Each structure stands twice: as structure tokens, then as C-alpha cells.
Amino acid sequence: MLNIGCHLSASKGFYNMAKTACDINANTFQFFTRNPRGFAAKDIDEGDIKKYHEFIKDKGFSKVLAHAPYTLNPASSDEKVRDLALRIMKDDLLRMEYVPNNLYNFHPGSHVGQGVEKGIELIVELLNTVLFEEQTTIVLLETMAGKGSEIGRSFEEIKEIIDKTKLNHKLGVCLDTCHIYDGGYDIVNNFEGVLNEFDRVIGLDRLHAIHMNDSKNPFESHKDRHEVIGGGSIGLDAMVKIINNPRLQNIPVFLETPNELDGYKEEIKILRENYNNN
């Protein structure tokens, strides 16, 4: 079965997200752990979480993906900015244990002129503080487009962060199709080659999630502007090859395309129709 979902609003809680996912024929979903601007998080509602777990029990849901606020910068040169990222991720990971055994994704950060090596050092420092042995959540580093001074535009940078982190059995990778295409990995003409490269540098066993987005910009543009599936420079054919790749079966796919629910429902329908293993 194709495990697929999309980004949903968390404002009405977990049960509501799961119900919405079912309504659009998804069997997973992504959500922001808190408001990406004000950083406010909703109080944990144990009643909601209980209802959620009961609801998804027999529905074949795969792991869900929590997304850290994209406005955090663990690689900032400003200690206050780094400290905010640290406190928020620490709190997010504690809260994630109310919904154990899921995934938590974050953008590695931007080194803002300090250089990649310094940026990586700061990200590792944060991970070595926030990860804890008892956590059941796998923390994912998202592959980035390389906009500005973003870290995580190459598989090598991500691998270096993983290698330098102590509890790195808690780490994985979320591959964003728009980002890596913008970042210079040609998933349109040479997807097998890109997968081989990922496997050689990082190891495919680290890949826990795929963000499936088309790109508004051409190959290697380092822009990071998502487009609806089939509406951009990557195209539907490349997406269909990705979901059907034998090496990527069971890895959940999340849409972050510029859509409302109806649009997401339609994209899920198209991708499910083009999935060969139903």
C-alpha cells in the first residue's frame, strides 16, 4: 500500500487531523508542532490523543510526521536564536512522546556567513542536547534547496551531522523532492543515480519520509518554491517513478504542495491511481 498524506492544520487536534486524512483517502499526515511565527504550542489534550489512537487503530495508518517551525535556526550566529531553537525542539520532543513512535522533521538551519563547518558544529551541539535515550521519536534532517546559506543541501552535509551526533540512532532523513531538485540532484533524468548516491553517502536505511512537491523553478535553481504535483519542473512522471521505486516501499510520502484540502485529495487520488502495488 502507498503510505501518503499531506500537511494539515493542527489547530483542532490529532483526532481531527486523522479524520481529515481519512476523508481525503490519506493514511498519514504532517503537521506543525506549533505556530511557526509566534511559536505558541497548544496544550496537550490527553482526551484528544486517546480518541486519536482509538480512531487510527484499524485504519492502516503509517507513522505521522511532526514538522518543527521552519523559522527556527539551530545554526544561527546569535546565541539567543540558537537557544530558542534548542528550547523549542526539546519541548517538542517531550510532547511527541504523547504520540510515541512517530517522526519529527526539522530544517538543519542556515550558517549565515559563519561557514558550513561552523554551522554543522552548532547543529550537532543542539542535537547532542535535545536528543535523549528514552525517546521513541525519530528526528529527521530535511534535505534543503541550498537557498542562501542553508545547510543540508548536499547528502554529505547531512551525513556529517549524523556522524557527529552522539545518539544518532535517533536520527534519519526526510527527502524533499522540490528541495533536492532545486539543490542539484537530477531526480527527473536520473532518479536511480540519485538514490544510489543517497545510499552511498548516507545509507537508505536512514530515509524515513519523503516530501513530495513539484518545483516552480528549474533544476539547480536553489530557490525552494513548491508547485502542485505535475505543475512544475519535476512533473508527474518523475513522481510516479518515485512512489513505485522498489527501494522506497513503505516510506511515507507527504505532500506540501500549494493546495487546499480539495487539491490534496485530488493529488492523493492521482498518485494512488498511478501506484502499481495496490
Please list the active-site residues: 37, 67, 70, 107, 142, 176, 179, 211, 224, 226, 256
7 binds Fe ion (CB under 5 A): no
How far separated are the first and last CA of the chain, in Å rounded?
5
Q: How far is the CB of 134 from Fe ion (least distance, A)?
A: 26
Choose the one of Fe ion, Zn ion, none that binds residue 214, judging by a C-beta under 5 to 8 angstroms depending on kind: none
Segment interacting with Fe ion, rule: CB under 5 A, options 28-36, 51-59, 155-163, 171-179: 171-179
Q: How far is the CB of 158 from Zn ion (least distance, A)?
A: 15
User: The C-alpha cell of 268 is what?
Assistant: 492523493
92 binds Fe ion (CB under 5 A): no
Q: How far is the CB of 61 from Zn ion (least distance, A)?
A: 24
Mark residues 21-50: x for contact with Fe ion by CB under 5 A, - for none.
------------------------------
224 binds Fe ion (CB under 5 A): no
Q: How far is the CB of 30 from Fe ion (least distance, A)?
A: 9
Segment interacting with Fe ion, rule: CB under 5 A, options 9-17, 50-58, 90-98, 211-219: 211-219
Choose the one of Zn ion, Fe ion, none that binds residue 182, judging by a C-beta under 5 to 8 angstroms depending on kind: none
Choose the one of Zn ion, Fe ion, none that binds residue 211, judging by a C-beta under 5 to 8 angstroms depending on kind: Fe ion
Antiparallel, parallel or unpaired: β 214-215 and 226-227 = antiparallel
Q: Residues 17, 10: contact at Cβ < 8 Å?
A: yes
Choose the one of Fe ion, Zn ion, none that binds residue 159, judging by a C-beta under 5 to 8 angstroms depending on kind: none
153 binds Fe ion (CB under 5 A): no
Per residue, the 3-state secondary structure of the chain, as one string, reads CCCEEEECCCCCHHHHHHHHHHHCCCCEEEEECCCCCCCCCCCCCHHHHHHHHHHHCCCCCCCCEEECCCCCCCCCCCHHHHHHHHHHHHHHHHHHCCCCCCEEEECCCECCCCCHHHHHHHHHHHHHHHCCCCCCCEEEEECCCCCCCECCCCHHHHHHHHHHCCCHHHEEEEEEHHHHHHHCCCCCCCHHHHHHHHHHHCCHHHEEEEEECEECCCCCCCCCCEECCCCCCCCHHHHHHHHHCHHHCCCCEEECCCCCHHHHHHHHHHHHHCCCCC
176 binds Fe ion (CB under 5 A): yes
Choose the one of Zn ion, Fe ion, none that binds residue 224, judging by a C-beta under 5 to 8 angstroms depending on kind: Zn ion
List the one residue from 34, 111, 170, 211 that touches Fe ion (CB under 5 A): 211
Residues that bind Zn ion (CB under 5 A): 224
Binding site for Fe ion (CB under 5 A): 142, 176, 211
